[in-house]
Structure 1
Amino acid sequence: MSQAQNKYIPIYAVVFSVIVKCLFFLTHHIQEDAFITWRVAQNLMDYGVIGFNGDTKISASTTHLYVFVSYIFNLIFGKANFIIPILTFNTILFSVGSLLLSHLLFQNNWHKALFIILFGILPPAIKISILGMEYGILFFLEMALLYYGFKKQQKWAFILFPILILFTRVDTVIFLGIVFLVDLFWNRKLRWEYILGGILGVAVCVSFNWFYFGEWVNNTIVAKKLAYDNAFTLQQNIEYFILNYGNFWGMLKVPSDFNPITILIIIFELVCFIYLVKQKEKRNYFLWIIFLFGWVKQIVFLSQKSLFDWYYWVPQILLFVPVIVFVITQKTRRNFWLASLVIFYIVPMLAFQTVHSIATGNGEWNYRRSIGLFLNQYEKDKNQWILLEPAGYVPYFSGLKTIDEVGLVDKKIQEEIKKDKSSIWINTIEKRHPKYLLANKDLFEGKNGEFYRSKYTLLKEFRIKDHLKSENPLLEKIYRLKPSGTDYNLYVRIN
């Protein structure tokens, strides 16, 4: 079959990849922070303000573009029905992005199709697609920039995509910077259109923050830096790296300091990359871009103690691209390499992600969402406040105004963090008197127990063990194999 005859094969692979990942919707595995973005979008609907609590402006979401996309989906489908449509949208965008990436790496359409399928069912690809975060949009925009800008040489792409990319996440300056440097060293010339696009992207993002929120960078960045700031010694930094590197360079989290699987994967990725770039192929230009970006992004974020695993999804999967390309392009023993990759890595990783999504979906959708639903029914006055951490499922499904201890959705608590990080709960309660407290410990025990007992009473206990049951015996085994969730106590203020 000629290339012209099988030109639709990659499209069929995209459709297949989307269908496979849509099956994961059944697990209800949705990231906590997605509900922050969606509540900001709904706050814009209800109050005409980008915020979290009524008419108070705050950049509570890490992404501006995705807030507006979520706003549109809420308008079209309604608050009760938009989640599956927007998850499908994210999944389609990621899969189209993988199609564009395949065009950068392969000439043969069968190779493209195989790449799209293998690439699309790896754990980071599944999480990017289905967890409700902005990375499906971001991956599509980044691959569209490489394809339409640097492959097709479309000048409009150099202007448009950097603006959209930076308006999605400001930390994408790392990606745009790596692309600029590789292109400069590769082609020995400046692309003024691309430079203009980058300048406009920064200007649009910073100007929007300043003129709308009165701040230069998103509140989320300020809040996390303030709440998680740690001054480490050199020895502590080394210990920290050893403890965490395996969780971010690899594709699965292993509860141990030493992760030999990750070391093997890193070595194999490097070997495959070196093997490929030694060949005189046009794809080397793009391999250098995605591989250098993957390493730089990982190192920068790990050095800043960024423990949230979604920061690493895109780098994780891009670093694995040379492995897939190496296997697919083998002229001898390709079937052996392909079978080995699928049997010993792809299938186990897919199985791991399936178990992880089922267990995590239970712990978050079935369990943590139930706390929000209980509060929604119990408290009819949605102007009442709750102090808790984190600010995802419970605020979204309860509808209550929220103070989170990090300060992502409420700036006032940041002042308490600056004054005395160890006493932010007590100081916030003294000043603001929230009606509800949701804590992952017994507040009546310990040195401040008398303070809490004098102002609050225990309303309800929520225990993860009560949600490790299912009529399906296989699901129950998975729930108990990998219990996901935290025990909580819900307190109400004494009138």
Structure 2
Amino acid sequence: MNKKLPIYACIAIVLIKFLFLLTHHIQEDALITWRVAQNLLDYGVIGFNGDEKISSSTTHTYVFVSYFFNLIFGKAYFMYPLLIFNSVLFTIGSYFLSKMLLKEYWQQAVFIVLFGILPPSIKISILGMEYGILFFLEMSLLYYGFYQKKNWALLLFSPLILFTRIDTVIFLGIVFIVDLIWNKKINWRYILGGIIGVGVVLAFNWFYFGEVVNNTITAKKLAYDKEFSTSLSWKYFLINYGNYWGMLKMTANFNPYTILVLLFELCAFIYLVTKKNSRNIFLWIIFLFAWAKQIIFISQKSYFDWYYWVPQILLFAVIIVFILEQKTKRNLWMALLLLFYIVPMLAYQTIHSIATGNGEWNYRRSIGLFLDKYEKDKNQWIFLEPAGFVPYYSHLKTIDEVGLVDRGVQTEMIKDKKNFWFNTIKNRQPKYILAYKDIYQDPESEYYRQHYKLLKEFRIKDHLKSDNPILEKIYKLKPSGRDYNLYERIK
């Protein structure tokens, strides 16, 4: 019976996450990957706009997985089976992690539940991003390759991990370093797996797209590259550091809650690794990887919160292990953890998912649905940012401001970054512009007035209502979304 407790915990946590699917909280970038997958289905080309090849998605593995789910379930019904699949894979990964870190079955079961209801774990599972698959692959490598010493795992999972995200070279590198120091010998099979992985990814990018790294990396580096003074770098760090070690990003610059969590993580880690235990190699791997990835991404001014989901939960895992292994007053420790962290974080994530789901699914999706009905010619172009919900549901060809789905924007940035927005519109003449601002107030207002008319205004305040009074309070408590103006080219 005890042996089955971790399995029961896995089933329970997956069922709990099903409730979050009702919030329709889906990450914008997931729809970019799904459109790429559907473009592959329709045109036989990995791209975004027809038969043009472009790596608009950061992840190759997830594109192919999404393609097969579209093929099996159809474009109208693939979404929820895929989200459930992501959630199941993440939970299996957490099961592997629990086996590596804890001996008792009841400890593993409690770990799986507590680990699974952390905010980043919920987001990894149900927001549609590739991190559920990635977490499963990374934990599978550790479990089968280093815990059970299966040589086949070293050759299989390293290439799959790299093909999912190229930045996982950080994870694979940390694993190699820790394993080398721990065992005092080079694991040549692991090196071979890494060489195969890097070779496969680079060869695929070069021979299919004609590039070494994904277009998404090139586009983001070009679009977000700007000079940061020391004071500005510090300002951005303070605004975003809740993403790094905590799980609650407050609007204020100072977040003491995150500092307390960080200190607790450090103390718990030191306490655990000072005790001789064979599982310490895995504690060192997950802790050093989490810190390494965060430091590298922080140094590159990468402020998208999904980059930090996996590091967040891996750092917090040591706290759960620390509490589960207390010999005295364990129940008190557990009660305090639940009362002051797990329950508040779960409540916060529930409110956040409901509010964000409203802003994305009910609001931003409605813009795409409006355009889908209004514009019958799907060969027409729209210029906007971001390239998720609206392009996906409007089915229009898309130029995005970052250049993720269209390289022409990058060309304009290289020529004149300051004026690339206007130059793109003037040279490409898209039929539609979806803007956060009133373009008639821009310096180029005369051109816009001559060539574009305001078709419709979309306002987030119009979507903060619900027949359910509790939902309406949540929508108004945490409004999610921005105002848009939709412009149509004058014929």
The TM-score bracket by the shorter chain reads over 0.9
After TM superposition, list the pairs within 5 Å mapping 1:58-77 onto structure 2.
58-77=54-73
2:386 match: secondary structure: coil
Query: What is the rounded CA distance, in whole Å, between the counterparts of 2:277 and 2:181 in structure 1?
Result: 17
The alignment yields a C-alpha RMSD, in angstroms, of 0.8
1:364 paired to 2:364: no
Deviations 1:58-101 (A, max 9, x none): 00000000000000000000000000000000000000000000
The residue aligned with 2:310 is: 314
Match of 1:450 in 2: 446
CA distance in 2, matches of 1:251, 1:238: 20
Partner of 2:196: helix, strand, or coil? helix
| Matched letter for residue 474 of structure 1 | I
Letter in 2 for 1:373: L
Match of 1:209 in 2: 205
Partner residue of 1:337? 333
Look up the match of 2:415: 419
Aligned to 2:388: 392
Inter-partner Cα distance in structure 2 for 1:82 and 1:12: 27
Q: Deviations over 1:233-277 (max 9, x none)?
A: 334333332332223221011001111111110000000000000
- Aligned twin of 1:245: 241
* Alpha-carbon distance in 2 for matches of 1:214, 1:40: 17
C-alpha distance in structure 2 between counterparts of 1:265 and 1:279, whole Å: 22
1:52 aligns to 2:43 (yes or no): no
Aligned counterpart for 1:467 among listed residues 463, 468, 472? 463
Q: Please say if residues 39 and 45 of structure 2, whose CA atoms lie closer than 8 Å, have aligned partners that are also in contact.
A: yes
Aligned counterpart for 1:258 among listed residues 251, 254, 260: 254
- For residues 83 and 225 of structure 2, the distance between their equivalents in structure 1, rounded to whole angstroms, comes to 33
Where structure 2 has 5 or more consecutive residues not aligned to the other structure, the ranges are: none
Of residues 197, 203, 208, the one that matches 2:193 is 197
Moved more, 426-435 or 219-228: 426-435
1: CA distance between counterparts of 2:302 and 2:403? 16
Residue type of the alignment partner of 2:346: L
Question: Structure 2 residue aligned with 1:111, among 102, 107, 111?
Answer: 107
Shift of 1:419: 1.5
Shift of 1:425: 2.1
Matched residue, 1:491 = 487
Could you tell me which residue of structure 2 aligns to residue 441 of structure 1? 437
- Residue 52 of structure 1 and its aligned partner are, at CA, apart by 0.1
Partner of 1:185: 181
Give distance in 2, aligned partners of 1:216 and 1:430.
31
Which of 320, 326, 329 aligns to 1:324? It is 320
**SS of alignment partner, residue 222 of structure 2:** helix
Q: Percent identity?
A: 70
Q: What's the counterpart of residue 352 of structure 1? A: 348
Q: Distance in 2 between matches of 1:489 and 1:364?
A: 16
Letter paired with 2:291: W
Shift of 1:421: 1.8
Q: Which moved more, 1:196-205 or 1:248-257?
A: 248-257
- Contact 1:247–1:254 at 8 Å: present in 2 too? no
The one of 143, 162, 169 aligned to 1:166 = 162
> Which deviations, in whole Å up to 9, do the C-alpha atoms of 1:314-343 show, x marking residues without a partner?
000000011000001111100000111011
The one-letter amino acid paired with 1:383 is: N
**CA–CA distance in structure 2, aligned partners of residues 447 and 416 of structure 1:** 18
Distance 1:292 1:22 in 2: 32
**What is the letter of the counterpart of residue 66 of structure 2?**
S
- Residue 120 of structure 2 corresponds to 124
CA distance in 2 between counterparts of 1:148 and 1:446 reads 58
1:133-189 Cα distance to aligned partner (Å, 9 max, x none): 000000000000000000111001000101000000000000000000000001100
Aligned residues of 2:26 and 2:128 also touching (Cα < 8 A) = yes
Matching residue of 2:142:
146
Paired amino acid for 1:440 = Y
Match of 1:288 in 2: 284
Unaligned runs of 5+ in 1: none
Measure the CA separation in 1 of the matches of 2:179 and 2:230.
Answer: 35
Could you tell me which of 33, 41, 56 is aligned with 1:37? 33
Structure 2 letter corresponding to 1:200: I
Residue matched to 1:93: 89
Distance in 2 of aligned mates of 1:455 and 1:230: 31
Q: Is the 8 A contact 1:246 1:258 kept in 2?
A: no
SS of the equivalent of 1:320 reads: helix
- Return the alpha-carbon distance in structure 1 between the equivalents of residues 89 and 357 of structure 2: 23
Q: What is the rounded CA distance, in whole Å, between the counterparts of 1:477 and 1:391 in structure 2?
A: 29
Q: How far apart are the structure 1 equivalents of 2:84 and 2:34?
A: 15
SS at match of 2:455: strand
- String of CA shifts for 1:270-293, please: whole Å, max 9, x gaps: 000000001111211100000000
Distance of 1:217 and 1:395 partners within structure 2: 24
Q: Could you tell me how far apart the structure 1 residues matched to 2:40 and 2:346 are?
A: 37
TM alignment of 1:78-89, pairs within 5 A = 78-89=74-85
Q: Distance in 1 between matches of 2:235 and 2:56?
A: 32
SS at match of 1:230: coil
Aligned residues: 491
